[in-house]
Structure 1
Amino acid sequence: MATIKARGQITIIDQNDAVSFQAFIGSNLPLSQIYTKDTNSYLPDWTTAPYLILTPQLFISGVPGDSISAAGKIKPGSAKWRKDGTLLTNGGSYVITPAAPFTLTVKSNENVAGGTVKYQFSAILVDPNNGLETDFSTVISFQTLQNSSAGLIAVVSAPDGVVFKNDKVNALRVHADLYRGNQVDNTLVNYKWGIQNGGVFAPTTAGSAAVSGAATVVLARIDNVIVGSKIKIGATTYTATTVNTTSKSIGVTPNLTAAVASGAAVTSPYYDAELGVNWALISADPFFNGITGFATNEITVPNGAVLNFESFKCLIKDVDPNSGTTNQTAFDILSLTDFSDPISIDIAAPAGTIIKNGSGSIALTAKVWQAGVEIDTGGTLYGYQWVRYDANGVIDSGFNQTTKSINVTSAQVNGKSTFEVRLMSLT
């Protein structure tokens, strides 16, 4: 059975001769603060140790590990920090390390009574092969949530960071807390963890009968069903190989092991009503590659469970029967990135990523890399599975492209669309 080997999304594509790289900003504190108006207090409080410490990270294709501190990679004097676009200087509330690792320490609560603040790190990368200089920048955002003494807010953080930097990082922890006001509530609360999965759909039924051995089944509704979706009918779980949005016919592998009656229940085996569609409820199933702690407030994610990048959602429910918020839920989301995978995939858009005046088209090509070298240039070693998300992040079930290069038309971009490509093994 084919498996996903790598995955990429169209974001920023570099079409010059510079090295391929990505930059991040790591934080020692969660990306959310709780501001309680009743007590005029913040949690966590950036005015007390350990303060907020931001550390840039730079990953270059073909170069193992974080390169931000590697000699000769960053042009001297080019590193700059900005807050909401304003250049920061050393002193007062800010402590800036002018040399590697270029950390920024913030000693004040920047969001007065709530809001969002963005910190930007920028520098010039020097290509050691040819001396070519490339400007780059990366941004991290923090949100301050205003809370009353009784309100529930979930905050998810990554105590060990959000990046698998090299093969020595075997696992990362993702931690969740439920705040009531500015206090953590960890009594009589339940935790559910989900991992983002574009093929998870809400329960539906068979639209017509199908005989045992058939290679297709018709569904009453195909919302969020895509190629690769897991489909459970009776006691058997199948994989969707084709999706016909007109007939609502789904190709399945293996062929149906038993007859299917019209109206029979058809489910996504990892669907949970509280997490919602496109989120798979994490369990001990081998599908989740050994993630543990999914019934607690902290999961441990092995590097094998993160394919390039994965988003995790924790939904926390108050089950205290004597609470004024009993059965209410709150959730938060956090993403992890893996730079230790041997194969990665990017999307090239030579003509740019903008369709003007509702006309024209854009060619997208999946570029596969291993150890800094492009492989499968002919598109014969792997399969390619494309997914389209609309401006609201909803999957287009009718978009089924399976070639290395695709052509995106103006009709497929209504305001804004995101295209994801998945690299599939051929066996």
Structure 2
Amino acid sequence: MRIGDSLPSILSTDGGNQMTIATGQISIVDFNDAPSLTAFVSTTSPKTQIWDPATQKFTPDWTSSSPTLQPSLFVSSEGTTDQIATAKSVKWFDSADLTTALVTGGAYTVTGSTLKVSQNIMTGSIYAKTFICEIIWTDPATLVDLTVRAEFTFNRADNGKTGPSAISAVLSNDSDVIPTDSAGNNGNFTGALSTMYIYEGATDVSSSWTVTANAVDVTGTLSGRTYTVTGFASGKDTGYVDLTASRSGYASITRRFALSKSKQGTAGTTPTLYRLIPSVNAIAKNISGVYNPTTLTLTAKSQTGNGAYGDYSGRYQIWETTDGTNWGTAKYTSTANEASKTWTPTAGIKAIKAQLYIAGSTPNGTGFLDEQIIPVVSDGATGAAGADAVLVSAWAPSGNLFKNDLSTSLTAQADLYKGATVQTSGVTYEWFVQKSGNADEGAGAGWDKLDSTNQASYGVTGAVNTSTITVTAAGIVNLAAFKVKATYGGKAYYDTIIFYDQTDPIMVVVESSNGNIFKNGQISSQLLCRLYQNGEEIDPKQSTATTGYKYTYTWTKLGRDGNQDMTFGGSGTKKGKWIDITDADIYQKAVFKVEIT
């Protein structure tokens, strides 16, 4: 006689022979891999330290302006919140000695998870110093310790003779979102314009340049250096305008004004437009480090339908970056609705990022409306006369945020500049994705080189010797970091870019057509897996079990002893949006699990 594992059994007699009739139980479990860890390191100081042999001084001088390295830890199972405070341990190493952790003493001060450098350690023949941060985090579900490492490199540049100031171009509006009705019509294009400004060092020389425009999938007009968008091409939800500045004797400069629709409201009606407007498009910094203007004022405008285009009181959030890449934590967050916000930039920054949120919302949480980035342009004063600086810049032409659509793809583009000119020949590109514990494949430890064999597993295409890669939402879990290595003139240049996934969580519901309790061996049921996101069903049931779906559904069965039945489906698994089960699949108790990929 055998008794069921968890639910009561009914015993009966038949011709004097006693038999057991077990109660079946169906359980659906969503398999998850061990959480993946992603780590980054930011600093309070510029990544490059300048040595002036004439004055025998460093700028910044780390004995008085000591950089502090702060790690950040992101765990795939914990969303986009920094988990560094929950780390089991944090250790710092000089890349030259990965066996001895740095401790407080001499040039270093270790406090909690941070590393402070208080001496000018890049002297003599040392032109770079790389620090490795090793983070151990314990998975609360399995109590397994997981390790991730992140690196940060400081560089030293030596002053030569005073050279010419760099030429740079800035758009008054890098991107714009056009609110439309739910059908994508009746777009409100008020204020959908961008003006190109050209700077020589910190001096506005725009009047000496001629600007032309190339519009793709949008319509509009160019007046002087300002392009005004009036519509999208038929059937298009995104588009852009490339503004190119030209001047005799100089290399041309191109900047992109990207546009997209925000479908909202009711079909046939015009929704509300919101815009964030900074008082200046760029902040100038002279050789002495003095800003002009000394403050930045942010204001907001709104317009509903054909109503008045007027002032709007919302919530603001402000960030600053010292290296042009890492924004760290917000420097300012509104606690009440504000008609405007005046901000005093911190010394030594390279750009300010400002965001507008809807009135009464929680900034950086919900209600995001618009964003503007205001760069700091500087007078040139270093480098050998006549020599152009070389750098690579990785950026996302269509943005770096995914939301609720796994069919969406975005691009990462790398531009290698020599001076103000993008080099189109003589450059080779390699792309890497951050992978904890990976050996150095050309971009430092912790980066996996993308090639034709592995790129698909990361949701990437076109990553072999090209300046542009395509990243799909399916390859991003919370966030993913990519690094580009551009080789030019025998030297390698690097930059990184991060893509974020703010997809709402998917809820898994498994239905049994005849319930989950059967008696007397009369078992016949269909198990159907349904997925819900943001309150709506996604990937709904089709006419067949295996075709026409966005996802793949893989089922396994555990017997009453808890072991997987390797004969289930012939090889241990069955595929399909739904599966049919009979009495042959259950003896007293079985647990069915479905994995959605």
Using the size of structure 2 for normalisation, the TM-score is 0.34
Q: If you compute each CA radius of gyration, which structure gives the higher value, 1 or 2?
A: 2
Asked which structure has the greater RCO (Cα within 8 Å, sep 6+), the reply is 1
